[in-house]
């Protein structure tokens, strides 16, 4: 409930196990959390594989069963959320830096608006697909936006500047050679 809990989840929760034990004992081992139903396929890489339902609860919603529970406000300088392969590609690039005191921040040398990335999920949806096709960090510090449609493999020391839109409609992978600068 984002109206009640206005802070975004950094996927870190600390629970007093004695309190949890007491709550479970008082409620017949049931926390009473809302069930979440996610429709998926057995093989996430094959949309034609058998459909299944993943049943889960959100641990973050458990905060409502603990009296006196509170959230910690973690400054954005302490983390960069990585929920998609686009986020992963950005964090692995020179668009971000890790400071001496372990803050992940946008590189101060970046003078452009926030980076916009759009990857073709047929080829770049999963981490292993990114690692296979983009095995080295890209230089995105001068890139405004990057859109990749189709199968590409990037070599070492690739720099992207401006607005880059790559489209490969063939079934053959296109290789971007080492030390290439792409300008758009």
Render the burial of 69-93: b for 16+ CB within 10 Å, e for the rest. Answer: eeeeeeeeeeebeeeebbebbbbbb
- How many Å apart are CA 158 and CA 183, to the nearest integer? 11
Catalytic site residue 92?
no
Catalytic residue, from 67, 83, 111, 172: name it: 83
Nearest Cα to Cα of residue 4 among 43, 24, 49, 34:
34
Nearest Cα to Cα of residue 152 among 143, 160, 144:
160
Question: In the beta sheet, which residues pair with residue 154?
Answer: 176
Residues tagged active-site: 83
């Amino acid at each position: 409930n984002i109206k009640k809990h206005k802070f975004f989840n950094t996927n870190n929760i600390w629970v007093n196990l004695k309190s949890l034990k007491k709550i479970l004992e008082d409620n017949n081992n049931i926390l009473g959390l809302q069930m979440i139903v996610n429709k998926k396929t057995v093989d996430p890489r094959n949309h034609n594989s058998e459909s299944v339902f993943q049943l889960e609860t959100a641990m973050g919603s458990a905060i409502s069963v603990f009296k006196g529970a509170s959230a910690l406000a973690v400054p954005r300088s302490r983390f960069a959320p990585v929920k998609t392969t686009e986020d992963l590609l950005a964090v692995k690039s020179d668009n971000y830096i890790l400071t001496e005191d372990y803050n992940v921040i946008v590189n101060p040398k970046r003078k452009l608006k926030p980076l916009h990335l759009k990857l073709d999920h047929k080829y770049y949806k999963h981490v292993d697909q990114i690692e296979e096709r983009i095995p080295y960090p890209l230089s995105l510090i001068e890139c405004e936006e990057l859109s990749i449609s189709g199968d590409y493999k990037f070599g070492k020391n690739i720099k992207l500047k401006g607005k880059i839109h790559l489209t490969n409609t063939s079934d053959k992978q296109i290789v971007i050679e080492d030390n290439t600068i792409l300008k758009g």
